[in-house]
Amino acid sequence: MDQRPMTLIEHIEASERRFPEATGAFTVLMQAIGLACKIISREVNQAGLGKLLGLAGRRNVQGEQVARLDEFANDTLVRTLTRSGSVCALGSEELAVPIRLPPTPDTGHYAVVFDPLDGSSNIDVAVSVGTIFGVFRRRSPRNGLGGVEDLLQPGSSLCAAGYAVYGSSTVFVYSAGLGVHGFTLDPSLGELLLSHPDIRVPPSGSYYSCNSGNRKAWPDNVRRAVARFEDGSRSLRYVGSLVADAHRTMLCGGVFLYPADRGKPEGKLRLLYEAAPLAYLFEQAGGRASDGTMRIVDKVPRQLHDRTPLFLGSADDIAEFERLLGDEEARDDAS
Ligand code: AHM
Ligand code: MG
């Protein structure tokens, strides 16, 4: 019997076979995303040897400095997805406006949103970074260009989402609604091999994760909820790359939070290509994700680069955190 772990593509093909009406278009799409992540992984691992460290010398639409690797990762995803023929529209952290693609016969069923290289501030110091993506079904008419309406959909309309972490190993995690599955890159084969089947977020965990340097700017209810969490039973872990903090939370449980604060009244993280795909994955794996008042997957983006506060993690811990956010009596604990 073959004891070799399944590759990512074998896994997706096996899932598609459960749906006799499937055309194979989803496999083509995921093959393109997997390939792009492997190319990005290779460059991230060798960045110091080439000319890919440092800044690209421009700012993106959000006014942030663009790193050379941000640009490389974005170009890789755009080219690979466009060439696959499976997409009608692309939205990226690095693109001011969406890419709208012309129709091709029998293809272009999907619209993809992505943060090509999450954790930009960690690139040059060899700390884990990653890619986050979400996949929507096309909404616009099939005989024209893809449109913004294909991208501006809530997380509850995602048909798949995932991320890759370029860390001590490269791990690719995805869900298409049939569980959350993780694959580890075997560099000798160049293949993503199934290493974490059916991931479930533990109902609670012993980590909390936030940038407590922002504490003074947090609203009172966030400060007092975090103060309640700092009761000696939990350890602080904060990488500063959302994708790496989310992956640890997915496997070990606990809470991750990036709330709104005085300087960032809408929060920092982007709804469409950071928060929503992760929220979809966490809910698929039994976890929970909210903005403090509502489920992230119910939020409908008005624009490509909308931001949101994010509370993400173990179902029980996030429920407890939400309860503390509304707990008036604990007001004094935050001072
Ligand atoms: P990026 O997509 O430009 O890298 O920005 C988002 C990052 C997240 O990965 C991370 O959670 C957060 O910003 C860290 O922000 P801070 O340095 O304010 O803690
Ligand atoms: Mg990011």
* pLDDT (tens digit per residue) in 154-164: 999 999 999 99
DSSP character at residue 150: G
Same domain, 167 and 78: yes
Query: What's the count of helices (H) and strands (E) in the chain, helices before strands?
Result: 7, 17
Q: Is the pLDDT of residue 172 over 60?
A: yes
Ligand 1 atom with the smallest distance to the CA of 93 is 2
Q: Could you say which of 176, 196, 216 is where a domain stops?
A: 196
User: What confidence tens digit (pLDDT) does each residue in 274-309 have?
Assistant: 999 999 999 999 999 999 999 999 999 999 999 999
Contact (Cβ atoms closer than 8 angstroms) between residue 297 and residue 280: yes
Task: Say yes or no to pLDDT of 335 above 50.
Answer: no
Q: Kindly state whether residues 217 and 137 are assigned to the same domain.
A: no
Q: In this model, does residue 106 exceed pLDDT 70?
A: no
Q: Using the atom order of ligand 1, give the atom closest to the CA of residue 129.
A: 9
238 shares a domain with 108: no
Same domain, 234 and 108: no
143 part of a folded domain:
yes
- 329 pLDDT exceeds 70? no
Mean pLDDT, residues 117-126 = 90
Strands, DSSP E only, in 207-317?
207-209, 235-236, 255-258, 269-270, 288-290, 307-308, 310-313
Residue 32 scores a pLDDT above 90: yes
> Is the pLDDT higher at 261 or at 144?
261
* Cα 34–chain centre separation: 14
pLDDT in tens, 225-235: 999 989 899 99
Q: Average pLDDT for residues 120-138, to the nearest whole number? A: 93
Q: pTM for the full model?
A: 0.94
Which ligand is the nearest neighbour of the Cα of 122? 1
Q: What is the whole-number distance in angstroms between the Cα of residue 41 and the centre of ligand 2?
A: 16
> Secondary structure of the chain: what % helix, strand, coil (to 5)?
35, 25, 40
Nearest CA to ligand 1 atom 3: 120
pLDDT, averaged across the chain: 92
pLDDT number for residue 143: 84
Question: Which ligand has the minimum distance to the alpha carbon of residue 242?
Answer: 1
304, part of any domain: yes
Give the number of whichever ligand sits closest to the CA of residue 243.
1
| Of 148, 176, 196, the domain-final residue | 196
Query: Which atom of ligand 1 sits closest to the CA of residue 245?
Result: 11
- Residue 144 falls inside a structural domain: yes
Q: Is residue 154 part of a domain?
A: yes
Instruction: Identify whether the C-beta of residue 111 lies closer than 8 Å to the C-beta of residue 146.
Output: yes
183 neighbors 192 (Cβ within 8 angstroms) = yes
Query: Quick one: which atom of ligand 1 is closest to the CA of 122?
Result: 4
Q: Which of 118, 127, 210 to mutate to test the pocket of ligand 1 (most atoms within 8 A of CB)?
A: 118
| Percentage with pLDDT > 90 across the chain | 79
Ligand number, closest to the Cα atom of 209: 1
**Closest ligand 1 atom to Cα of 120:** 4
Tell me which of 150, 176, 196 is where a domain ends: 196
- Is the same domain home to 220 and 143? no
Q: What is the pLDDT of residue 328?
A: 61
78 found inside a domain: yes
The one-letter amino acid code at 5 reads: P
In a domain, 334, yes or no: no
pLDDT at position 82 is 95
Same-domain pairing of 268 and 126 = no
In this structure, are residues 58 and 108 in contact, taking their beta carbons and an 8 Å threshold? no
Q: Which ligand is nearest to the CA of 241?
A: 1
What is the residue whose two structure tokens read 């624009």? 303
**What residues does ligand 1 touch, defined as CB less than 6 Å away?**
64, 93, 115, 118-121, 211, 240-242, 258, 268
Is 297:243 a contact under the CB 8 Å cutoff? no
CA-nearest of 283, 285, 291 to 311 is 291
Pairwise pLDDT comparison (299 vs 53), residue with the higher score? 299
Confidence band of 142 (pLDDT split at 50, 70, 90): confident
Average pLDDT over residues 136-151: 92
Q: Which residues contact 258 (CB under 8 A, 6 or more apart)?
A: 210, 211, 242, 267, 268, 269, 309, 310
* Cα 125 to Cα 102: distance, rounded to the nearest angstrom: 40
Whether 113 is covered by a domain: the verdict is yes
- DSSP code for 232: S
162: CATH: 3.30.540.10
pLDDT of 1 > 80? The answer is no
Which amino acid does the sequence have at 300?
V
> Does 230 lie in the same domain as 168?
no
How many domains does the chain contain in total? 2
Atom of ligand 1 nearest to the CA of 121: 4
Q: Whose CA is nearest to atom 4 of ligand 1?
A: 119
Ligand 2 center from residue 191 Cα (angstroms): 25
Helix (H, G, I), strand (E, B) or coil at 77: helix
Are 295 and 325 within 8 A, CB to CB?
Answer: no
Question: Mean pLDDT over residues 189-196, rounded?
Answer: 97
Alpha-helical runs (H) found in 17-58: 25-45
Residue 240 CA, ligand 1 centroid: distance in Å: 6
With a cut of 50, say whether residue 334 has pLDDT above it: no
Helices 8-16/25-45 angle, 10° precision: 160
Sorting pLDDT into bands at 50, 70 and 90, what band is 60? Answer: confident
Statement to judge: residues 51 and 113 lie in one domain: yes
Q: Name the band, by pLDDT with cuts 50, 70 and 90, for residue 332.
A: very low
Pocket test for ligand 1, best of 242, 261, 278, 304 (most atoms within 8 A of CB): 242
- CA of 209 from ligand 1 middle (Å) equals 13
**Rounded CA separation 22/325 (Å):** 44
Confidence at residue 68, expressed as pLDDT on a 0 to 100 scale: 86
106 φψ region: left (φ > 0), alpha (ψ -120 to 50), beta (else) = left
> Which residue range is the domain that position 68 belongs to?
8-196
